[in-house]
Structure 1
Amino acid sequence: MNELLEVFLASVRDGYVQVSAFVALTVLLFGLVQYRTSGALVEQLSENDRLQPLFGAFMGLTPGCGGAIVMMPLYVRGTVSFGTVVATLIATAGDSAFVILALAPEAALYAYSIAFATAIVSGYAIDRFGMGVGRIDDAVATISNTATDGGVVTSRGGNPTHEYDGDACCETHAARESSVLTPLSHAVHAIWWVSAGIALVLGVMYLLAGAPEVPLTLAPSYAGAFTVVGITGTAASFYIYFVGRHYLGDGHVGRARDSFANLYETLLHAAQETSFVTVWVLTAYLLYEYTVVLLNINIGEIAAAVGLLAPVIGALIGLIPGCGPQIVLASVYAEGAIPFSALTANAISQDGDALFPLIAIDKKAAIVASIYTTIPALIVGVALHVLFDFGSATGFGVLG
């Protein structure tokens, strides 16, 4: 029981410091650009179909999941194409990018360059040809009702056809008023941003130190601040998502906004969107951590023991939403236990935390997107392993 409680508290803490703080920064920066340009960036992106997969790949390439998370609501509202979503997710390396950049920078350069090129080719191919989307749509159509078509593209390769009418998804509603909950929600919002700022500093220090284990403690130390800020930030995120968003704004999350009326509204939107991601990230953390503890699964040992199938296993691990399994695999690579082909396959296949907003709003599109990120991961990973002898390149680019 003590171990299960410790896993819970560590997940609550780590999800905020290691993920949410970086997501908050990216979402806020994107929101500030929208605010300063009165939505011109999103408008230009919507009008330039041919640039969308390239832009998505660039957003996905940024370390962490923030850039990719920004793109998901744009797809939901019909601003960008399904090929753009796939390009973004293929280029996304999530938080494992920080580990590889710190411990194996040369390998990171090659792996993420290959993932970026694969993302661009795949994104444009899906938008241009469809790549069998209809067949996959038919196979998963019975899973759930969706907000979008799950990837059917128009003949000219532009934005997907949506089942809702225009911007109906993004209609605004007045915030509720309460003599207690309204001021409380604004106070929690302020606490949330203080926590996010401190967590960002702690998260950067954590990554620069090589992502070490941080003990759970309330002592006046780095580990103590890590614990207090992480738990506080997650608690504030849950309040904002389940209660506060109804008293702070229009109540919508996971939806892109054209522009913002003022700076405070921009901050509110970033906090609400990041809180939404935090709830899903914590859910994924707990599912993963409890599965590992209860079933005694060691992803590192599995990946290291499969030999020729290493890139296949790397790609399949990438199917697991979230960054936890991917960080484990990156750490195992840095120890020289798996080949470069497995690292690259995982870099292409993994979607990081960016898939959670899409899962929450459009499960069918999320399933199809996961399929489309895994297929090129298998092809590229196996090709590197067999044709270019990267199967023997264990420890390639690792710092001594």
Structure 2
Amino acid sequence: MNELLEVFLASVRDGYVQVSAFVAVTVLLFGLVQYRTSGALVERLSENERLQPFFGALMGLTPGCGGAIVMMPLYVRGTVSFGTVVATLIATAGDSAFVILALAPEAGLYAYGIAFGAAIVSGYAIDKFGMGVGRIDSAVANISNTATDGGVVSASRGGNPTHEYDAACETSAARESSVLTPLSHAVHALWWVSAGIALVVGVMYLTAGAPEVPLELGLTYAGVFTVVGVTGTTASFYIYFVGRHYLGDGHVGRARDTFANVHETLVHAAQETSFVTVWVLTAYLLYEYSVLLFNINVAELAAAAGLLAPVAGAALGLIPGCGPQIVLASVYAEGGIPFSALTANAISQDGDALFPLIAIDKKAAIVASIYTTIPALIVGIGLHVFFDFGSATGFGVL
């Protein structure tokens, strides 16, 4: 029972420090650009369909999952094509990028460069040949019903599959309460203080190679890591389930076109990140409890894959979240798996960016995961078979 509780507390802590703080900064920066330009960035992106997959790949390439998370609501609103979603997810480096760039920077540059190229090719191919969600609805209809915002898949002006958004489902007025309104604003302020501190300790954690951090209280590094992580996650749950109705219109999961002021931009970023935090914690708990209860050792499985290493790397990338991917990056830095497995995982992994899409449109999330795995297998196996550095272990490790 003590071990189960320890896993729970560690997951509550780690999800916020390792993921949410980085997501918050990216979403906030994007929101501030939206505020300063009165929505011009998204408007131009919507009008320039040919640039969308390239822009999506660039957003996904940024270390962490924040850039990719920003793109998912734009698809739901119908701003970008489904090919852009896939390009973003293929290029997504996730939090494992911090680890691999710190421990094996040359390998990281090669792996993520190849993933970026695969992202652009795949994104444009999907849009060019109309291989979006609408084209294969029948193939996945028995797997999952679409949980969307009330919109439908349709063709944009250029024929690319997008998502028609029904704005009527949004509300605009925040609720008023003599108790919950001031409490929600106080929790929102605490949330941003936690996010700022978590960002600092999170960067220190990743640049140190993602070491084990003990659960403890106090003014030590581990103590601050624990306190700020638990506080941030607790505040995130409050904001998502209660506070969002008193801070704004209560609507999360989709990017709005404009932001009235800086405060609204901060509220929006906190709401969107809290939404992701809830899903990230769920994934962390599923992963950690599976490892604990079934005695799964990801490092040993990856090291024992042999010729199937790139297949295993691609398969591991199907797991949403960054936890397994960080483990794989650490195993590569220790010489446990070949470069082909690292590259296949870099292409296949969707990081935490898949959570918003799962929550809003499960069907699109399933199809996108399939599309990111296909180039991962092709490129990974190709590197392993035809290139010496692809099958080598320790390539680019410091």
Report the TM-score, using the length of structure 2 for normalisation.
0.96
Indicate the SS of the match to 1:160. strand
User: Aligned AA for 1:270?
Assistant: A
Instruction: Give the match for residue 59 of structure 2.
Output: 59
Instruction: Give the match for residue 172 of structure 2.
Output: 173
Instruction: Give the match for residue 365 of structure 1.
Output: 364
2: CA distance between counterparts of 1:5 and 1:264?
37
Residues 151, 103 of structure 1: alpha-carbon distance in 2 compared, 3 angstrom cutoff:
farther
Instruction: Give the match for residue 347 of structure 1.
Output: 346
Indicate the SS of the match to 2:64. coil
1:287-298 pair list within 5 angstroms: 287-298=286-297
1: CA distance between counterparts of 2:218 and 2:210?
20
Instruction: Give the match for residue 109 of structure 2.
Output: 109
CA contact (8 A) 2:153 2:161 kept: no
Task: Give the Å deviation of 1:152.
Answer: 6.3
Question: What whole-Å deviation, never above 9, does each CA across 1:374-397 have from its counterpart, x for those lacking one?
Answer: 000000000001111345310100
Task: Give the Å deviation of 1:304.
Answer: 1.1
User: Aligned AA for 1:72?
Assistant: M
Indicate the SS of the match to 1:320. coil
1:62-77 pair list within 5 angstroms: 62-77=62-77
2: CA distance between counterparts of 1:14 and 1:150?
36
1:314 aligns with 2:313: yes
User: Which shifted more, 15-24 or 126-135?
Assistant: 126-135
2: CA distance between counterparts of 1:390 and 1:139?
38
Indicate the SS of the match to 1:256. coil
2: CA distance between counterparts of 1:147 and 1:136?
17
CA RMSD of aligned residues (A): 1.5
2: CA distance between counterparts of 1:272 and 1:161?
22
Instruction: Give the match for residue 144 of structure 1.
Output: 145
Residues 112, 150 of structure 1: alpha-carbon distance in 2 compared, 3 angstrom cutoff:
farther
1: CA distance between counterparts of 2:48 and 2:384?
37
Instruction: Give the match for residue 29 of structure 2.
Output: 29
1:126-141 pair list within 5 angstroms: 126-131=126-131, 136-141=136-141
Instruction: Give the match for residue 387 of structure 2.
Output: 388
1:185 aligns with 2:184: yes
Instruction: Give the match for residue 80 of structure 2.
Output: 80
Question: What whole-Å deviation, never above 9, does each CA across 1:107-144 have from its counterpart, x for those lacking one?
Answer: 00100000000000000000010248556421212321
* Runs of at least 5 residues in structure 1 that lack an aligned partner in the other structure: none
Instruction: Give the match for residue 286 of structure 1.
Output: 285
Question: What whole-Å deviation, never above 9, does each CA across 1:73-112 have from its counterpart, x for those lacking one?
Answer: 0000000000000000000010000010000000001000
- Structure 1 outlier segments of 4+, above 4 Å: 132-135, 148-155
Task: Give the Å deviation of 1:146.
Answer: 3.7
Question: What whole-Å deviation, never above 9, does each CA across 1:225-245 have from its counterpart, x for those lacking one?
Answer: 110000000000000000000
Indicate the SS of the match to 1:373. helix
Task: Give the Å deviation of 1:154.
Answer: 5.1
Question: What whole-Å deviation, never above 9, does each CA across 1:311-362 have from its counterpart, x for those lacking one?
Answer: 0010000000000010111110001010000000000000000000000000
Residues 114, 157 of structure 1: alpha-carbon distance in 2 compared, 3 angstrom cutoff:
farther
Task: Give the Å deviation of 1:211.
Answer: 1.4
Report the TM-score, using the length of structure 1 for normalisation.
0.96
2: CA distance between counterparts of 1:219 and 1:243?
30
2: CA distance between counterparts of 1:265 and 1:154?
30
Residues 150, 66 of structure 1: alpha-carbon distance in 2 compared, 3 angstrom cutoff:
farther
User: Aligned AA for 1:286?
Assistant: L
Residues 216, 174 of structure 1: alpha-carbon distance in 2 compared, 3 angstrom cutoff:
same
2: CA distance between counterparts of 1:274 and 1:222?
24
Task: Give the Å deviation of 1:220.
Answer: 2.0
Paired positions, count: 396
* Runs of at least 5 residues in structure 2 that lack an aligned partner in the other structure: none
User: Which shifted more, 203-212 or 97-106?
Assistant: 203-212
Task: Give the Å deviation of 1:159.
Answer: 4.8
User: Aligned AA for 2:347?
Assistant: I
Instruction: Give the match for residue 39 of structure 1.
Output: 39
1:191-340 pair list within 5 angstroms: 191-340=190-339
2: CA distance between counterparts of 1:129 and 1:109?
30
2: CA distance between counterparts of 1:255 and 1:391?
39
Task: Give the Å deviation of 1:157.
Answer: 3.8
CA contact (8 A) 1:82 1:151 kept: no
CA contact (8 A) 1:79 1:159 kept: no
Identity of aligned residues (%): 85
2: CA distance between counterparts of 1:132 and 1:226?
42
User: Aligned AA for 2:70?
Assistant: V
User: Aligned AA for 2:146?
Assistant: N
CA contact (8 A) 1:49 1:159 kept: no
